[in-house]
Amino acid sequence: MSRFEGRRVIVTGAGSGIGQGIALRLLSEGAQLVAADINDAGLTATVEAAPADQRDRLRTVHLDVSDPESVHTATADAFETLGGLDVLVNAAGIMRAGHTHEMPVEVWNQVLAVNLTGTFLMIQSAIPQLIESAHGGVIVNFSSTAAFGSNPYMAAYAASKAGVNALTHSIALEYVKKGLRAVNIVPGGISTGITSGLSLPADADWSLMARLPGWIDGGALGKPEDIAGVVAMVASDDGRYMTGTELRVDGGALM
């Protein structure tokens, strides 16, 4: 398929996990793509994972989504490289776990700064470019089943993702008459560095976590490519009648 031929795309969090999977999928479908991440080594790995005959359409940029100046600099560079923008995928995110009554406010602020404020900063920077897209600009944001399913020990993460839900709906309505679409992807448990590196409290009650992986494949975690294919549909013309909504991809965790 070549649904993204001639489409200019930015993917944040593209140095690993879901973001990397999305970048490689959209690149394989013809996108002119800027992969953005705070992890430069991860970006190098993304370039190396791309087929050699696709790398001429792939550029990378260092980006800290929680830093307004970094967002301004990185997006300006990306817009110049791409000559505009058609699709923004906000896949950058972090997860921190702990008992809510013990969580330092610095950790709370860090999670919201990356997951919620970072998404806002990218959207704010990209909107003027997206509404000029001849194809109709698209924003794909990332919520989580944590925003709907009461994940224990993840109050900051759940709150940040619930905020992304509300932000996406607001943006979708505000700019619908300018041809801009905004959609939330809601993953469940996906096998990435975020999930494998998550450290729960030593006394965590694992029975409270039982449904998080979902029911498909005996409760196995999903893979980044399970999300990437959905994003490719949403961000292409196949998703043209979708905006201001969520798509849950969780293996049936919230059935």
Q: Which residues are catalytic?
A: 157
Instruction: Copy the structure tokens of residue 238.
Output: 């196949």
Instruction: Copy the structure tokens of residue 133.
Output: 């897209």
Q: Which of 188, 250, 232, 233 is nearest to 23 (CA)?
A: 232
Are 6 and 31 in contact, with CB atoms under 8 Å apart?
no
Are 74 and 92 in contact, with CB atoms under 8 Å apart?
no
Q: How far apart are CA 84 and CA 105, in angstroms?
A: 38
155-174 and 105-112 are packed helices; what angle lies between their axes, rounded to 10 degrees? 30
Q: Which of 99, 93, 91 is nearest to 111 (CA)?
A: 93
Reduced to 3 states (helix: H, G, I; strand: E, B; else coil), residue 200 is coil
Q: How far apart are CA 88 and CA 85, in angstroms?
A: 8
Q: How far apart are CA 159 and CA 80, in angstroms?
A: 34
Strands, DSSP E only, in 49-167? 58-62, 87-90, 138-142
